[in-house]
Amino acid sequence: MLKGKFVTALYLVYDASSKRITVCSTGHAPLAIYRASKKEIEFIDPNAGPPLGILSSVTYADFSLSTEKRRCCCFIYRWSN
């Protein structure tokens, strides 16, 4: 393992038959959900575990949420040096 090197990830699976989104995050920024019916953006922190590469052994939890008509998921990225 390289010291000081790590990566964050956000894994998202959409199940069209159940209309559910399952998310797992490894230190990634919160997920932004635009709710068209309310005309608002909700930031969901998926209780992210540590970034990949920080710990040699870790288990990451996922969570799921139901979608509504006209829901859009937006991914927010920040880049800094």
In this structure, is residue 44 part of a structural domain? yes
Q: What count of other Cβ atoms lies within 10 Å of the Cβ of residue 46?
A: 21
In this structure, is residue 3 part of a structural domain? no
Q: Domain range holding 49?
A: 9-74
Token reading at 71? 């829901």
In this structure, is residue 81 part of a structural domain? no
How many helices (H) does the chain have, and how many strands (E)?
A: 0, 6
Predicted model pTM: 0.67
Q: Mind listing the pLDDT tens digit for each residue in 43-58?
A: 887 777 888 888 878 8
In this structure, is residue 2 part of a structural domain? no
Domain count, the chain: 1
In this structure, is residue 1 part of a structural domain? no
Q: Mind listing the pLDDT tens digit for each residue in 14-45?
A: 888 888 888 888 888 788 777 777 788 888 87
In this structure, is residue 51 part of a structural domain? yes
In this structure, is residue 70 part of a structural domain? yes
28, 52 contact by CB (below 8 A): no
